[in-house]
Every structure is written in structure tokens, then in C-alpha cells.
A and B are shown apart, each in its own frame.
Chain A
Amino acid sequence: MNPILKMTNISKYFGTFAANEGVDFDVMPGEIHALLGENGAGKSTLMNVLYGLYRPDGGEIWFDGQTRHFTSSRDAILSGIGMIHQHFMLVPVHNVLENIIMGMGKEKGFLIKEDQLEKEVLEIAARYGMEINPRAMVAELSVGEQQRVEIVKALFRGTKLLIMDEPTAVLTPQETEELFKTLRRMSDEGMSIILITHKLGEVMAVSNRVTVLRDGKVTNTVMTKDSSEYELTRFMIGRELSPACRDGRCCADKLVLELERVTCEGELGNHTLEDVSLSVCSGEILGIAGVDGNGQKELAEIIVGLRGVKSGRIFLSGEEIAGKSILEIIGKGVGYIPEDRHKRGLVLDFTIGENLILKDYSKKPFTKGGLFDFGQIYSHADEMIKKYSIKTSAAGRDSEARKLSGGNQQKIVVAREVDKGPKLLIAVQPTRGVDIGATEFIHKQILKAKENGTAVLLISTELSEINQLSDRIAVIYKGQIMGELAHEAFDESLIGLMMAGLTYEQAVKAPRGAGEAPVEGNRFADGHRTNQSNTLTPDQVSGDLPENPKEQVSP
């Protein structure tokens, strides 16, 4: 069989920096080809070249029978290449249909024939087993739904090769599995897919072949079935990983954080957190597992003071902190690695040095007599860059955070929040979109903080991350804590059921197959009214659940 895509000797420079250099890459029809590499290895750049967004400084692209010189994405689209970007390219104020048909005036006519187009869109979605509502506003869709819109958008353009840049970074495990099902279906129909991801498990699960990029160059291309996570890691980072792992010892000591029946209201007056009680001791990591959007962000934000509580009390080392200002809470030694580093954690236009003092800029030693002491600021920055191996551009501490790769941006946040040895560290999705090397590094920092006596609240949708680091695990669902278990009792399918809305007591009694529940969980994540019974059959699990299961169980 001939490849559908052949890229040979591709080079792309930014200034004098080689983001891609001499890259050879090909894809077979019907193949799911994974593209691996550390942050900044040049994966997105290569794909942008293929998609006509960047013009290569050298090399050739051969696609679907002929040599191509794409000068714009339009050229790429017209010849059958589709791309789903890491950050979705959807217009929030347009409806789904408009987002799908935009830019297709030439093909679909000057006048927008809504009804007919809607029918076409629904047909395509149905063919690949996706559900979408063409009239919904994109702003109102969940991330998973938005991704479906992106896929339909690509399919609608007659895509033969679909590029997906880190499609799973923002998806829940359930949504991920749904996506993979769709991808397999597409590949069965003969479509080719290029998949960029940092998660080796996904690569092993779904791809046929893997290409690994490093520093802008291809290190290896292998058949997935002939390789292993271990080998791919070596190709990627040139060494073995020593995954950070809690040493099994819990040095839990004094109570640091305590939430007492905290309830919190969203913009619409709904309860985003309800009656949450939990506690974390110094030297302990409490992992909060849960499907994204179940109140994790709110939980973190009420503790650090970014959001007010409606009722309930929050204690830090015995002192009530609910209602205190963010500044006061920071002052009490609370570190916070936020979910979205671009939005919250960094000021992208500030330099690394400036970002590193984001929470201490007005304190000694950085400020003296109302003026900055730049000597101190610089030496602090240099120290952190060294200590946390932050890879900067030539400008060093003076390079803007915007210009760093995602993993290195995250390292700035981690350095800032962890280095001071906070009393409490709240880490939300600390490794989202971060490569495996950096992930390992960040995990180690979190564990080190714990060993130094920090109480850590780790909030993540990645069960593997929770499992790897936590001493105790609590599961959150619709703003409620469904139950808590010790690390020793970690059981992925049990937690999966709890993530889907069962209390611990219900979940242990529910029959389950390993690894299956979290996947299916998505379907009942919405929750349905149910009959009241303590033992749930599989049918009931997938279809009917108590709306508020917690109340069903007498304590």
C-alpha cells in the first residue's frame, strides 16, 4: 500500500531557531499514526506546516497522489486535510452549524441554506456515531461536545487525513474513550489520522504506528505493536523515566486544611459545591478524583479566596479563612497551581523573572523602600531557572513566559508555588498538556513538598496521577464528595463508579469489570432519577442512578 502522505526533509525556522529540521514523515491510508515528543519538540510546528499555516523553509510534501505546495490552510483543506487544534478553533458566539460551515462559501453556495446544511451535518455525525445539536451555541457546549463539533467540521470538508493536536488533554477519561471509538470508526472507513499526545497509554491503545520527534528532528518511527511505553520514552527523552511515586509512607501529621460542610453557589444560583467536608494533614496528599466540571475548580478557588462560600467553614491550621482576602490567604502560606496556567497562573507578557515573583513582588527582599531590588529579583530568577530546569530562550530570565513551551511555563508556576515550602499546596491538573519528562519532574516536586511537611490537595481528572501520588483519595461528583478511600484501597473501577455518582458504599456493592466503569461512566454522568435500591445491577448502573445518592445511604 502507498502512503497517503509523505513529508520529506521538512525544515522550519523561527528566526534562526530550527523548530523542524530535515523531518521525514509518512502516513498510510486508514492508519492512526501517533506523533510523540516533548514540549517544544516541534510537533505542532510540523502539523502547521502540513496544514498550510506555516510555509516550510525546506522540504517537500506529497499528499494523495501529488506534490503539494500549500500556501494557506484553504489549500490543505481543499486537498483533504483536516486539523483539530489543541485550542479549539470555534467561534463561541456562533451556533454549531455556523461553526461547521464557516469558510465553505465556495463549496456550499453564497446563500446559507440552513435546513439542507443541517441535514447534511446530522448525517455525517450519525455515520460516525456522534451526537450534535446544530442549533446550539458553541459557548454553551462542554469541551467534549466542542471537540465533536471540530471533528464534524473536518469531516464535513471531506477530510481524508485528520490531524489532532493533543485532543485528549482536556477530555475526561470517558470522553477520551468516546473519541477513540470515533477515531477507530473513521480509520475503518479508510481515513488516516495523525494523533499528537503526551499520554503513552493512549498511543499504545489506539495507534498503528508512532513517530517520535526530538528537538525538531525525527528520532524513530516504529509500529506500535512492536514497541513499548518504555521504548517510546527512551526515544522521546533520551533516557529512562523513573516515575515519581509516593513511597507508601504517609507522614501525616497535624491537621492543616479542614472544610466543614462548605456550600458554594455558581453564577446561576445552582450549587457548584454542596456540603463538602474534608481535611488534609501536613505531609499528606489528598487526591480529588472526578470527571472535569464537577466542582473541582470551585473547590480550589474557595480555599484560596478567589470565590466566596455560601455556607460552611474553612480552617487553615485551625484558623477560619473563609471570607478572607486572597492576599491574606496567600500570606498564610497557601500555594496554588491553578488549572489553567495561561489564564491564571502566569502573566504571559511578563518575563520569567517577573512571573516568579507574582505573589511576592511587594515583599522583601524584592522590594526595598517602595522600589524593586532588581539584583534580588534577578538572582532569584536565575536560581529558580537552574533549580527547576526551566528551559528558556536566549533571553534567559528576561524572556517572556509566552515564548516558553507549555511544560516550561508550568515549571515556572510550580517553582513559584512550591519553592517557598507552603503550608498547604493546592494543585489542580498540574500536568495537563505537559510532556512526560516534565510531568515526572512536576510530580517529584509535589512529592518533595509533601515530604517537607506541606499538606497537598491534588485535584486531577487523571486517575493514574491520583493513584501515583495520593495518600488518600476522595471522589467528587456534582459538587459533592462521594466518599473517600485510602491509597491502599485504590481500585480504578471502584473510583470510576464513584466518579459517576455512586457513593462509596453503593460502589463497593456494585458488580463491575475492571477499567470498564470509568469509560461507561460518561453516559450516566448526567444522572437520572432512579429507583431506590442499594444493590445496583449493571443495567441500573448504566441507565438509572439516584439523583442524590448520598441521601440514600444512612450514615
Chain B
Amino acid sequence: MNDIMNAAFFVALLSAALRLSVPILFAALGGMFSERSGVVNIGLEGIMLTGAFAGVVGSYFTGSQWLGALVAMLSGVALAALFALITVKIQINQIVSGIAINLLAVGLTSFFFRALFGITTTPITVNAFAPVSLPGLSTLPFVGEILFSQTALVYIAFLLVPVSWFILYKTSWGLNIRTVGEHPTAADTVGIPVNRVRTLCVLASGALAGLGGAFLSLGQFNMFVDNMISGRGFIAVAAVIFGRWNPKGILIASLIFGVADALQIRLQTAGVEIPYQFLLMFPYLLTVVALTGIVGKTVAPKALGKAYAK
């Protein structure tokens, strides 16, 4: 085992961790906006699935992976709009709505995939994102390979972290979002349109989760397969909490979960005998630990999960 614990191993591990964390990061940043405004979005999984599917469809029909990614975002927004309608406007319980959205997404993607492409034994492949090496940076030892020879979507994901932070803490939108999530009544009394802010945040979460799905189908692959998200949307929900509802924390959480996943894969290929199930539990247990506040106080937005009716 010692022979694998070398620098190359770590470069490979971290680079894998980075790839594995990107879809989580996209969706979790989206989830953060939604939760910061007070809406729990368990539907991230389904929205990601829709994004993965729509991305492939978009790229298939336009021939452009960029338009594919755009279609993925739009489809995420569309599903999120339904979610916002039932949770923010009609005010059905958010958790149950999320579960229903996931169910819906599984059905709809599968239905439309069949309607569009028929039943195939070989995948429909489309144009996808290729790695872009950043000139100069990608040749740096270690970090060059890990950080600077990725697809455009990876750079976008990491760029979104400071952008989200800036929006949340330095702009009036961000202040509105935080106010709505903490104290919707107070927001209402100063004229912040609570439910409109929430709807927009949910839509943003749809766009980002959709992009996260597209990262899988177009950034990592060039095809869609049924259920290709495989629970990453739920991990994203966990990452929002573990990251304590702020972009920096979510970045760290996504990376930790990515490392855990990459490590699990590598330990197995290296023949280390730890039941894989325990490694798979890791992100969830970690989130529970985060919630105990033993490693620092976690304070959820006060109005999280509560619909606002005047």
C-alpha cells in the first residue's frame, strides 16, 4: 500500500476529488440561495437529473455544448418554477414537494428520453465540454494538473463561489435574501416582496442545479443515462448544511465530500478492505456531526422551511 501513497497518488486523488465535487458544488450553491431565503429544496436531485437530460438534448439539437448547458439551466429553472409555485405560492410542505419533484423528474426525463430517442442499447452521444488548459498555469507542478486543466464548467463552478459570496453579503439583493430567510415578517414590513424573493431564489437554485446536472452529462460525459445523478443532489443538500449556508463553507463541504468519494474509489481499487458502505455513509454522518454544533455553531436561517403567508 505504501507504494501508492506518493505524490502522483495525491495529485490524482485531488484532481478526482475536484471533479466529483463540482456537481455537488453547483447544486449546493443553488440550494444555498434557496435555503437562505427560507425554502428547503430537497428537489435538487430531480432538478439535476433534468439538467443532465436537457443538457444532452440541447447539445444534440443545436450541436453546441454551450447551448446545451443553457438549455439545462432553463429546464432547471422550469422545474424549480413548479417547485416555487407549490411551495411558495400554494405553500405545500416543502419537504414533501421536494420528494414529489424528484419523483416527477425521474419520470419526465425517462419519458422524454424515450420519446425523443427511442429505446437504444448504445448511448446517444453529443458534443460536450473538453478540458481547457489555462496557459501557463496548467504546467505548474501539482496544482497545474489538479486545478488548471479542467473543463470550462469547473472554472465556472469555482468562480461562482466568490460571486455568490459577494451577492449574498455585499449587495442589496443578498441582504434581501438573508432578511427574508431570517425574518420574513420584518422583510415584509420594510417592503421586501418576501415571496417574490423566495421564488427568485428557488429559480436560481434550479438554474444552478440544472447546470450541475449538465456538468455530469456534458462536462464529464457526452451522454445521458437514466438516474445518472445517483444521489448527488441529496449530497448537495447535505453540503449546504455542512457548509453552514455560506459559499465558503459550501466550497469546503463539497471538496470534503469529493475527497471522501475519490478516496473511497481509490481505496477500493487499491484493494483496501473497508466495507464501501461505511465510506458512503461518511458525508451523511459528517453532516450530522456538523449539526450537533460540536465543531462550531450551525445556525440555520430562522424561517427555513416555513411558508410565508400574510
Contacts and interface: CB of A to CB of B under 8 A. Distances in A.
Interface residues of A, number: 31
Interface residues of B, number: 22
Contacts of B178: 91, 94
A153 to B, nearest CB: 7
B99 interface: no
A110 B189 contact: no
Give the 4 A-B residue pairs with the shortest CB-CB distance, closest first: A74-B191, A105-B172, A103-B190, A89-B186
A74 B193 CA distance: 8
A72 interface: yes
Contacts of A499: none
Contacts, number: 82
B47 to A, nearest CB: 27
Contacts of A109: 172
Contacts of B186: 89-91, 102
Interface in B165-179: 170-173, 175-176, 178-179
B170 A112 contact: yes
A502 B188 CA distance: 45
Interface stretch (A77-85, A464-472, A485-493, A543-551): A77-85
A103 B176 contact: yes
A112 B179 contact: no
A290 B218 CA distance: 69
Interface in A42-82: 51, 53-54, 72-78
A351 to B, nearest CB: 22
A417 interface: no
B187 interface: yes
Contacts of A153: 190
Interface in A115-162: 153, 157
B183 A91 contact: yes
Task: Specify which of B178, B185, B190 lies most central, judged by the most chain A CB atoms within 10 Å of its CB.
Answer: B190
Given A102-B186, A103-B192, A110-B171, 15 more contacts: A53-B189, A73-B188, A74-B191, A74-B193, A76-B191, A89-B183, A90-B183, A92-B182, A94-B182, A103-B191, A104-B190, A105-B175, A110-B172, A111-B171, A112-B170
A53 B192 CA distance: 12
Contacts of A78: 191
A91 B182 contact: yes
A53 B171 contact: no
A105 B173 CA distance: 7
Contacts of B171: 105, 110-112
Contacts of B173: 105, 110
Contacts of B179: 91, 94, 98, 102-103
Task: Specify which of A83, A91, A112 lies most central, judged by the most chain B CB atoms within 10 Å of its CB.
Answer: A91
A111 B170 contact: yes
Interface of B: 170-173, 175-176, 178-179, 182-183, 185-193, 299, 302, 310
A101 interface: yes
A89 B188 CA distance: 9
Contacts of B302: 93
B175 A72 contact: no
A72 B183 contact: no
Contact of A102 (B185, B187, B193, B310): B187
Interface of A: 51, 53-54, 72-78, 83, 85, 89-94, 98, 101-105, 108-112, 153, 157
A53 B191 CA distance: 10
A112 B175 contact: yes
Contacts of A112: 170-172, 175
A199 B179 CA distance: 33
15 contacts: A53-B188, A73-B189, A75-B191, A77-B191, A83-B189, A89-B183, A89-B189, A90-B183, A94-B182, A103-B176, A103-B179, A104-B172, A108-B172, A110-B172, A157-B190
B172 A73 contact: no
A77 B172 CA distance: 17
A162 to B, nearest CB: 13
Nearest to B189: A89
A51 to B, nearest CB: 7
B246 to A, nearest CB: 12
Nearest to B185: A89
A110 B170 CA distance: 9
Given A74-B193, A89-B183, A102 B175 contact: yes
B296 to A, nearest CB: 15
A137 to B, nearest CB: 12
Contacts of B175: 94, 98, 101-102, 105, 112
Contacts of B176: 102-103, 105
A77 B170 CA distance: 23
Given A93-B182, A110-B171, A112-B170, A51 B189 contact: yes
Contacts of A73: 188-191
B15 to A, nearest CB: 36
A92 B302 CA distance: 10
A76 B176 CA distance: 18
B38 to A, nearest CB: 12
Nearest to A51: B189
Nearest to A85: B189
Contacts of B170: 111-112
Given A72-B193, A111-B170, A103 B182 contact: no
Contact of B310 (A53, A94, A157): A53
Task: Specify which of A73, A75, A103, A104 lies most central, judged by the most chain B CB atoms within 10 Å of its CB.
Answer: A103
Contacts of A77: 190-191
A77 B192 CA distance: 11
Given A93-B182, A109-B172, A102 B188 contact: no
A85 B185 CA distance: 11
Contacts of B188: 53, 72-73
Contacts of B183: 89-92
B248 to A, nearest CB: 17
